[in-house]
């Protein structure tokens, strides 16, 4: 059912969005040299590598040559790229990955091999699922680029502030995913894109709250141990 849904809606999505994507493609190549798409390597189902489709928002061949995580002030971002990233329109070409079968509409966001190599045994089951265009972690960290922009070191910010909760939410999805749950996730994604609301489903908010509570308790224990 999930694969059938992915094929049908990615196919018709590409057709319906083709005029918009054509306009964006023209604006991208007019703004800066380097082609329309970014085709970076990501880790997919069972740890297999695939190339993701995104509209190019940075100068060519710059991934890994600097910070992995990019804030809004990064000088590698093109003028058009700032708009694409803030609007999330750079993600539209991933419909091609969904149609090809590399990705699904809903699933753990595809990760760099650099970060997948850090997975613990507990986190490895995340790779049992196809990566997705959206997931609960994406919605929780919907405006993470603001954190990257404000952070002195975006990579450290990702490792310490974003990634731990992201993994918890992806593990939750790994063991609780369903077709109707995916439909719910898609509707919430559309809602977040349109409204930029901080609201989350109750069960997801509970995971976030529990994580924050545990983190605060750990920080408190660390401070007490230093004091002693």
* Confidence (pLDDT) at 68: 72
* Confidence (pLDDT) at 143: 64
What is the tens place of the pLDDT at every residue in 168-178?
A: 999 999 999 99
* Confidence (pLDDT) at 65: 60
What is the tens place of the pLDDT at every residue in 23-42?
A: 999 999 999 988 999 999 99
Q: What is the pTM of this model?
A: 0.88
What is the tens place of the pLDDT at every residue in 116-151?
A: 999 999 999 999 999 999 999 988 876 666 677 777
pLDDT band of 183, cuts 50, 70, 90: very high
Please give the angle made by the CA atoms of 131, 128 and 64, to the nearest 5 degrees. 45
pLDDT band of 227, cuts 50, 70, 90: low
Whether the Cβ atoms of residue 145 and residue 72 lie closer than 8 Å to each other? yes
Q: Which phi and psi (to 5°) does residue 51 adopt?
A: -105, 125
Q: What is the CA radius of gyration of the chain?
A: 18
75 pairs with which residues across the strands? Answer: none
> What is the distance of C-alpha 142 from the center of its chain?
9
Over residues 188-194, mean pLDDT: 90
Q: Which of 109-123, 151-165, 183-197 has the lowest mean pLDDT?
A: 151-165
Nearest residue to 142 via CA among 210, 96, 188: 188
């Amino acid at each position: 059912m999930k694969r059938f849904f992915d094929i049908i809606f990615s196919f018709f999505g590409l057709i319906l969005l083709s005029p918009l994507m054509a306009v964006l493609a023209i604006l991208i190549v007019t703004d800066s040299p380097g082609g329309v798409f970014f085709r970076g390597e990501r880790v997919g189902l069972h740890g297999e590598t695939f190339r993701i489709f995104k509209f190019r928002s940075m100068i060519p061949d710059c991934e890994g040559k600097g910070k992995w995580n990019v804030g809004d002030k990064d000088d590698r971002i093109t003028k058009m790229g700032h708009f694409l990233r803030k609007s999330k329109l750079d993600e539209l070409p991933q419909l091609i990955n969904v149609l090809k079968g590399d990705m699904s509409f809903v699933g753990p966001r595809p990760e760099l091999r650099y970060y997948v190599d850090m997975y613990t045994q507990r986190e490895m089951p995340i790779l049992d699922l196809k990566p997705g265009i959206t997931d609960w972690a994406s919605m929780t960290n919907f405006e993470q680029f603001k954190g990257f922009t404000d952070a002195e070191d975006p990579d450290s910010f990702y490792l310490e502030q974003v990634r731990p909760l992201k993994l918890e939410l992806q593990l939750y999805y790994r063991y609780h995913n369903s077709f109707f749950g995916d439909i719910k996730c898609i509707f919430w994604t559309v809602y977040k894109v349109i409204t930029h609301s901080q609201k989350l489903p109750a069960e997801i908010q509970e995971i976030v709250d529990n994580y924050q509570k545990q983190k605060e308790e750990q920080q408190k224990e660390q401070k007490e141990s230093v004091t002693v």
